[in-house]
Amino acid sequence: MANQLDERYLEAYNKGKLAERRLRAEDEDSSYMETMVMVMFMVIMFAAIMTTLPSLNALAAQSSLTSFQGQTESEYLLAMKVQREYKTPHPWITVSLTNDGLAGDIYVALNAHDADEILLVSGEIASISKIGASERITSIFYRCVAPTAIPLRVVGEY
């Protein structure tokens, strides 16, 4: 009889240990899942912040530069068949180009003689802004196809 009690006691003891191990394993699994959920949440938040950060930086840069009202410089140039270059006294943020000629088109390129040209027909005004850009306007290349010189009015802001 004592032998049966010992076996029952041993069996109950082993069941208790097994249940204790299961609880410990469930606790470890639960802790592991909580950690994984937290890591996934942090990754999602990091990705969301990183996608909005460039637009926030651009918005901040643009708002600080658009509120700036700098000095202006104006110049009258004569466009001819041969391309000419005008170097700005200061790096400009914006420029306004006006074809003051009565007849004839003017072709204008900014910062490089082989850059994309802007076509200004007679009386047309073009405004170019480099607000928020790392590059400023430092040179204006201009030419016309008319046999006579055509006046080009340039107003830059720095």
- Threshold 0.95, pTM exceeds: no
Mark 117-143 as b/e (b = at least 16 C-beta within 10 Å): beebeeeeeeebebebeeebbeebbbb
- Residue 149 has what pLDDT? 93
Cite the beta strand spans of 2-144 per DSSP E.
72-79, 84-92, 94-99, 106-110, 118-120, 125-129, 137-144
The average confidence (pLDDT) of the chain is 83
Strands, E assignment, 1-149: 72-79, 84-92, 94-99, 106-110, 118-120, 125-129, 137-144
Q: How many CB atoms are located within 10 Å of the residue 93 CB?
A: 20
Q: What is the per-residue pLDDT across 1-43, written as a single tens digit (0 to 9) for each?
A: 556 656 666 676 666 666 666 667 666 666 777 888 888 878 8
Query: In the prediction, which pLDDT does 129 show?
Result: 93
User: How many whole angstroms separate alpha carbon 20 and alpha carbon 14?
Assistant: 10
**pLDDT for position 102:** 87
> What does the angle CA 14 – CA 20 – CA 22 come to, to the nearest 5 degrees?
105
Token pair of 35 as six digits: 């950690």
pLDDT band at 120 (very low <50, low <70, confident <90, very high): very high
Structure-model confidence comparison of residues 97 and 61, the more confident one: 97
Tokens coding 149:
């010189």
pLDDT tens, 70-99?
899 999 999 999 999 999 999 999 999 999
**Backbone phi, psi, residue 104, to 5°:** 120, 145
Tokens describing residue 19: 């249940």
